[in-house]
Chain A
Amino acid sequence: MRIVKIIAIILLVAFVGIQFIPTTRNQSDTVPETDFMLVNNVPENIQNKLQVSCYDCHSNNTQYPWYNKIQPVAWFLEDHIKEGKAELNFSKWDSLSNRRKVSKLRSIVKQIEAGEMPLDSYTLIHKEAAFSEEEAKEVINFMTQLKDNL
Chain B
Amino acid sequence: MSKLKSTLGIVAIAFITLTAMSCKDNKNEQNNADGNHSEMSADEDHSKMNHDNSDEHHDGDKKEMAMSGDGNSQAVLKDYFNLKNALVADDNAKAKTLGATLATTLGNFDVSSNFSDTQKAELKDIIEDAVEHAEHISESDIDHQREHFKILSKDVSDMVAITGTENTLYQQFCPMYDGGSAWLSLSKDIKNPYYGSQMLNCGKVQKEIN
Contacts and interface: CB of A to CB of B under 8 A. Distances in A.
B11 interface: yes
A103 B28 contact: no
Contacts of A100: 125, 128-129, 132
B7 interface: yes
A99 interface: yes
B10 A7 contact: yes
B25 A86 contact: no
Interface in B77-134: 125-126, 128-129, 132-133
A80 interface: yes
Interface of A is mostly: helix
A18 B10 CA distance: 22
Contact of B125 (A3, A6, A99): A99
B28 A79 contact: yes
A76 interface: yes
A119 interface: no
A3 B151 CA distance: 60
Interface residues of B, number: 24
Contacts of A14: 18, 22
Given A18-B22, A110-B147, A75 B14 contact: no
Nearest to B125: A97
Contact of A75 (B6, B10, B25, B129): B25
Which interface class (under 10, 10 to 19, 20 to 34, 35 or more) fits A? 20 to 34
B36 interface: yes
A76 B25 contact: yes
Contacts, number: 57
Contacts of A102: 151
B133 A103 contact: yes
Nearest to A102: B151
B32 A82 contact: yes
Contact of B7 (A6, A99, A106): A6
B151 A103 contact: yes
A72 interface: yes
29 contacts: A2-B7, A3-B10, A6-B10, A6-B11, A6-B14, A10-B11, A10-B14, A10-B15, A11-B14, A14-B22, A72-B25, A75-B25, A75-B28, A75-B29, A79-B29, A80-B32, A82-B36, A83-B35, A86-B36, A97-B125, A99-B125, A99-B126, A99-B129, A100-B132, A103-B129, A103-B132, A103-B133, A103-B151, A106-B151
Interface of A: 2-3, 6-7, 10-11, 14, 18, 72, 75-76, 79-80, 82-83, 86, 97, 99-100, 102-103, 106, 110
